[in-house]
Structure 1
């Protein structure tokens, strides 16, 4: 068949398992071979095609991974060789593709620095160098790319200060400079970009305070400055930008909030964790009524008692390591919770009745571990859709309530390091989804329950440091996924069943300090 007049080749996702053709039609304008298991060598012949407008070879594992010689072109508009394993330095000749509007080299194994000639691509709109292993600095010539709307240089090895080269890029909508070794203050030239919607400078070493005024960023929807060393006060503009939906200031050194905060009701995701905030932070943020995810972990905040706070849309709340001394009262109004973490605080005394009577049908994960709770566990069986219940390292007492069987979806149950007593209910053996069961360091007595009566999902059974006795139940033979079985430091007295050694995934078996047994 004669393909000399072929103009368009589009085989996206078709497993052709074929080498790249050496002789291609000079009429080709559009080539899309994304994820086709293309093999062989990318030759310079593609860059000599007089009419080629788009060359898209993304997600192929080329055998010969050297970038071929790039010839000047006034027709090529889009070049995408991301995730092809192409390696070596990016040549200066990349700047001769003067008509390029899209260039994607993401995920390639390039070396060296970004060439200054990149500034010659004055028609470029989208530039993606994510994860390409570039070193050095951001070239100042990027300031010439006035048509640029998307720039992703994240996950490279760039260093130094972020240069003030962005004030000319007035069309820029998205900028990603995360996971580098950038130092210095927040780059002020960014503040003049009126079309900006997404900014990610996370995981660098930026330091100092944020600017007091960023009123130009009216279209910003996502702002991620996490994992830096920024300090001072979180400015009021960060909470008042009218389009902002996600704000990540976590893992910095911020010490407070601005005195007068004008809250943006559109904010849905707020992460202020791992800072040095203290005092009535919850009161200051109480008007963020559309929050869906809220993380204040690892700060020193005070109680919200007596303060009217409502987060009716909240589904994920993380308040671990916050020095809380009581359950936050605003939880009464947060009826859509799915994830709740109050671990590692100073909450003491019984679980309040209002908390245990909440109808959180949507609650999937509850973590109250590392507190000083003294309640009976029967107060926590009301959340029927729980996947994970973690209340380890408390002072819970009394028996394990039989209604726990109603938690049919439970996958993790960790009640270790408490003062629970009496026998372990056999209903645990019929909880079909249970994967991890940890009851270590309690005061349980009686025999081991018949676990895996219905479930074969258990990977961890830990009953160490109790007062259990009797034989290992035969039902454990059904636990074919079991990796950890720890019943040490009990009063077990039995003949060791040889079949226990046939469990195919068993990696850890602890039987120390039990009564005498035949092995």
Structure 2
């Protein structure tokens, strides 16, 4: 063995050797390392994963780069990684170990082995390229060697769980030289000779720092505020130590921390309010300390995290608390509202959107003289809390998503009179006859069981939501007294009668008018005033009729126009192209008629993304000019690639569309979602090639028309297309092979046409079933039972679209003449099939009259 080691170390240069020589030397080095250690069959109890002796598979007859735990550079075949964690290794690793003859090593994991209480060798400092070193829980002894500070490329160092010590000068050297370090784990390491000041110069890129269970050392005192300079830190655990004093306010600068453990120490004082800046917190544990509620704590805001468990009753000790917000977390259990009774300074209390059940004793009188903002959404409340009547300063009340039933009690109306914001949505309220309030601006009553006539809100209301109820009767004309109204949503009710004529011009601020899913009759109001603010106008699923009012051109801010499922009888409103911001146009299931033309070149409907003209009586050719003007589908703004939705924070638009063969409601509309649905009309002629320029189109439906000719190969340019339905037309020819390049295509429907030839194979086409092709008696190949005579794919459809190319490619006149009696185009198709496939069965059957 000594001879082998000497032979290896006498090599002139590892870095300049040939690949073959280096391979031999590294293989020998690994085999010698194997011989230096033993690997018993019994597993190690402290290994968190299944353990087995990985090096048992290391054999000279097998390429060493395929050995278990060995990772090689693919080009030069250097060993760049060794993962021998949980490998049952036993023995020692001396400084002359052949392990240190692998100079290209970048990753080394020897965790959870048994190195017989030997010291960590100084040889580990020779790995100049090493980025990851893990020696955790491997029965090491002694001191951390200074040589580890030579590993200037080290990104992660884990020495946890060993019986080792760390001297102050070594830690200082590590901190100073390892400038690329991102993870440092020293759990259970003896640091009795270390000063916390040595951590002051840790790399600002450090993302994980664990110093667990140092309680047997003298590692205590106050936390150095310098730790707050580790702005990239996402994992900080200092639990089970002897730290004392208070948490520095500067820890609120650690805004990327997701795991924060300080439990089982001797911290005192208050939890600093600056920790409310830690918006990314996923887990936090400050238990088993001596924190106190002090009068200095005025704000505790932990909203929108993933915090869980119960709310500690010690909250009641924070008598100076002014703001307590734990909304949108995972807190659970039943809590007594009594715990907040001592918080007489509280101004904001928000417990919403957890898994809490709030128990409120209506026989007790709670006094919150300064409470202004109370949010108890989704707290399993069954009755209006009686203490609300004592809240004289209350201006915001949210009791949505609870289980409150029946009528609103009379005493609640006195509470409402002083409110600016009231949300009672998603309950089981049955009736409300009038709504008081001189200051009320936001009123949300949607998703209840409200019956009766339409309740007109106070004239001060700006946002009014009362959708998804059972209201009946007409909208009274007094609605037009709400001169400040911006949002009016009365959708999904049973309202009927005429739409008040004033709705087109009663408010200069009205942005959203949603009247869908009711039973309104008559015509759409004609008086849409100039300079109005309408952004969304939805009348879908009513019984409106007549012409479309041309005063809609005054709605220059309009983005969404949804008039689907009515009885509107008009020609195509080409004059809507004057609306510069229009993104959604839905006219489906009406009585629109005639041709779609009169467009201005290169300027029509530039912002349109969602177009649904289906189930009407449109005729003529498909409108090429219309398609040419759809700039938002032809090009896409990079800033819109992110998940941006049409609408504002207070109201996000929804729309009913036919997508991938099914009708459903998009609750929110991504600006990158695009669809064109012209199905179930009377269009004829060919599919225009210009459709191929709409490269950001995701859904195209031209089904149930009278389209003829070939499927244009230009559709292959629709690179993000997910659904293509051109079924129930009279299209002929073969399916273009180019369509197999549509890798996002999930839905394909070519059924009920006159298509012929083999079905393209491969890519997404292998996922489509029979239903995509039924009703085309001339198609053959998988997935149909009709087999083609050969396995070739159809040629590019350019042969279909350029007759001259067909003949110059060997397609002779004899094949064409075969179909002369049935027409020239039929001859082209049949001749092509005979030439390519011999005698297709469907042709033979046709000739024989079967």
Q: Which moved more, 1:244-253 or 1:63-72?
A: 63-72
Shift of 1:343: 0.3
Offset from partner CA, 1:169-196 (integer Å, 9 cap, x none): 1111111222214121344211210111
Q: How does 1:377-416 map to 2 (within 5 A)?
A: 377-379=524-526, 381-382=528-529, 384-416=532-564
1:322 match: 469
Q: Which moved more, 1:457-466 or 1:68-77?
A: 68-77
- Which of the pair has the greater relative contact order for Cα pairs under 8 Å at 6+ separation? 1
Q: 2:614 aligns with which of 464, 467, 472?
A: 464
Q: Could you say what secondary structure the match of 1:270 adopts?
A: strand
Contact 1:311 1:330 in 2 (8 A): no
Shift of 1:516: 3.1
Cα distance in 2 between the residues matched to 1:457 and 1:318: 28
Q: 2:401 aligns with which of 251, 262, 265?
A: 251
Residue 494 (str. 1) matches residue 685 (str. 2): yes
Q: How does 1:409-424 map to 2 (within 5 A)?
A: 409-424=557-572
2:759 match: none
2:832 match: none
Offset from partner CA, 1:490-509 (integer Å, 9 cap, x none): 00122322111112212211
Contact 2:543 2:566 in 1 (8 A): yes
2:498 match: 350
Residue 64 (str. 1) matches residue 211 (str. 2): no
1:21 match: none
Residue 260 (str. 1) matches residue 411 (str. 2): yes
Shift of 1:513: 1.1
Q: How does 1:78-227 map to 2 (within 5 A)?
A: 84-93=232-241, 96-98=244-246, 100-101=248-249, 103-104=251-252, 107-110=256-259, 115=263, 117=265, 120-122=268-270, 124-128=272-276, 130-134=279-283, 144-178=293-327, 179-207=329-357, 209-212=359-362, 213=364, 215-227=366-378
The alignment's TM-score, normalised by the length of structure 2, stands at: 0.50
Q: Could you say what secondary structure the match of 2:324 adopts?
A: strand
Q: Could you say what secondary structure the match of 2:404 adopts?
A: strand
Cα distance in 2 between the residues matched to 1:177 and 1:183: 14
Cα distance in 2 between the residues matched to 1:278 and 1:141: 50
Point out where structure 2 has 5 or more consecutive residues left out of the alignment. 1-178, 187-193, 213-218, 634-673, 711-850
CA RMSD of aligned residues (A): 3.7
1:24 match: none
Residue 366 (str. 1) matches residue 513 (str. 2): yes
Cα distance in 1 between the residues matched to 2:273 and 2:285: 23
Contact 1:119 1:143 in 2 (8 A): no
Cα distance in 2 between the residues matched to 1:85 and 1:156: 17
Q: Could you say what secondary structure the match of 2:415 adopts?
A: coil
Contact 2:624 2:688 in 1 (8 A): no
Contact 1:136 1:159 in 2 (8 A): no
Offset from partner CA, 1:389-412 (integer Å, 9 cap, x none): 011111111121222212111110
Q: 1:49 to 1:255 in 2, by over 3 A?
A: farther
Shift of 1:468: 0.1
Q: Which moved more, 1:360-369 or 1:482-491?
A: 482-491
Contact 1:310 1:330 in 2 (8 A): no
Structure (1 or 2) with the greater helix fraction: 2
Contact 1:102 1:124 in 2 (8 A): no
Q: 1:509 aligns with which of 700, 704, 712?
A: 700
1:293 match: 442
Q: Which moved more, 1:288-297 or 1:372-381?
A: 372-381
Offset from partner CA, 1:2-34 (integer Å, 9 cap, x none): xxxxxxxxxxxxxxxxxxxxxxxxxxxxxxxxx
Shift of 1:140: 9.2
Q: 1:39 to 1:388 in 2, by over 3 A?
A: farther
Q: 2:197 aligns with which of 6, 23, 48?
A: 48
Shift of 1:245: 2.6
Contact 1:100 1:121 in 2 (8 A): no
Q: 1:377 to 1:122 in 2, by over 3 A?
A: closer
Shift of 1:73: 5.7
Q: 2:428 aligns with which of 276, 279, 297?
A: 276
Q: 1:161 to 1:123 in 2, by over 3 A?
A: closer
Cα distance in 1 between the residues matched to 2:476 and 2:242: 57
Contact 1:480 1:505 in 2 (8 A): no
Cα distance in 2 between the residues matched to 1:146 and 1:109: 28
Contact 1:271 1:295 in 2 (8 A): yes
Q: Could you say what secondary structure the match of 2:534 adopts?
A: coil
Contact 1:159 1:183 in 2 (8 A): no
1:447 match: 595
Q: 1:454 to 1:422 in 2, by over 3 A?
A: closer
Q: 1:423 to 1:481 in 2, by over 3 A?
A: same
Shift of 1:332: 3.6
Cα distance in 2 between the residues matched to 1:80 and 1:221: 34
Contact 2:491 2:514 in 1 (8 A): yes
Greater Rg by CA = 2
Contact 1:191 1:214 in 2 (8 A): no
Shift of 1:139: 7.2
Give the aligned length: 469
Cα distance in 2 between the residues matched to 1:380 and 1:373: 17
Cα distance in 1 between the residues matched to 2:347 and 2:227: 25
1:15 match: none
Cα distance in 1 between the residues matched to 2:439 and 2:498: 31
Offset from partner CA, 1:211-241 (integer Å, 9 cap, x none): 435642221222221123221x212443652
Q: Which moved more, 1:472-481 or 1:327-336?
A: 327-336
The alignment's TM-score, normalised by the length of structure 1, stands at: 0.79
Cα distance in 2 between the residues matched to 1:512 and 1:278: 44
Q: Which moved more, 1:389-398 or 1:203-212?
A: 203-212
Q: 2:630 aligns with which of 471, 479, 482?
A: 479
Offset from partner CA, 1:253-297 (integer Å, 9 cap, x none): 1125444233365421111100111222x53x41x2211111000
Offset from partner CA, 1:297-330 (integer Å, 9 cap, x none): 011234467x8x7623221111101211132666
Q: Could you say what secondary structure the match of 2:397 adopts?
A: strand
Contact 2:206 2:232 in 1 (8 A): no
Q: 1:317 to 1:279 in 2, by over 3 A?
A: same
